[in-house]
Amino acid sequence: MNHHDWTRGVYAITDAELLPDDARLFAGSESALRGGLALLQYRDKSTDDGKRWRQAGALAALCRDYGVPLIVNDDTALALRLRRAGHDNVGLHLGQGDGELAVSRQQLGPHAIIGATCHGRLDLAERAVREGASYLAFGRFFASSTKPGAPPAALSLLAEAAVFGLPRVAIGGIGRDNILLARRAGAELLACVHAVFGGEDIEARVKELNRRLAQEPGPIAATHSLSTG
């Protein structure tokens, strides 16, 4: 397994409407991975535990081949079960209302990536940092067809959130035409559903996002290359 730097780049999030069965979920996710992802999130709101276990396990194995962590949305128990089954590349994303981050951190251990939704609020970010978050997600920054009701946030928040010293995720309507706006505002990770999975040739869509990001590699990349000589 090649290990990539998960702290910057394109963060693709799966969608059960755009990828409605195993075949399309796995093929679409592999295309996205070929395009170059920092992180992949399994986001499935169904209550079909058997399906979720099967799909998340297969995605974790696929992600391993690409050296990419798989982040499970919402479900600490599923992330824990996958890690206990040997998928140590599995992390978790928690929103407000998805459970206590500190409890999930204790259950998943110090090495699991755990992300937190902070909407447009620095106080939520501060609490997430205290409870052991690995990254902070802010948004939505642009209109999102995937989640039209998500509360809006101002791009200026991203610069203010630099103080926490954790990777900042921008989410909500991010695509090829605004990805550099979010990057220049301070986001190291750019989270996308529709811009990745909402059309044909997923690999090419991710490559295009990466091409645009390459114009603005950003501060974490600079720090990383300095510290590794």
Ligand X SMILES: Cc1nc(C(=O)O)sc1CCOP(=O)(O)O
Ligand Y SMILES: Cc1ncc(COP(=O)(O)OP(=O)(O)O)c(N)n1
Site residues (CB under 6 A) for ligand Y? Answer: 13, 41, 43, 73-74, 93, 95, 98, 115, 117, 137, 169, 171, 191
The CA-based angle 218-220-226, given to 5 degrees, is 105
Task: Choose between 7 and 144: whose C-beta lies nearer to ligand X.
Answer: 144
Site track 91-130 with ligand X (rule: CB under 6 A), x = hit: --------------------------x-------------
Q: How many CB atoms lie within 10 A of CB 64?
A: 17
Please name every residue paired with 40 in a beta bridge, in sequence order, or none if there are none.
Answer: 12, 70
C-alpha 62/C-alpha 28 separation (Å) is: 11
| Residue 43 in marked binding region | yes
Residues 6+ apart with CB under 8 A from 144: 150, 172, 173, 193, 194
CA distance 62 to 109: 23
In the bound state, the residue with its beta carbon closest to Mg ion is 95
Phi, psi values for residue 42, rounded to 5°? -90, 110
Q: Determine if residue 107 is labeled as part of a ligand binding site.
A: no
Minimum distance from residue 19 beta carbon to Mg ion (Å): 18
Binding site per annotation, positions: 41-45, 73-74, 98, 117, 144-147, 173
Query: What are the residues binding ligand X (CB under 6 A)?
Result: 117, 139-140, 144-147, 150, 171-174, 192-195
Query: What are the residues binding Mg ion (CB under 5 A)?
Result: 74, 95, 98
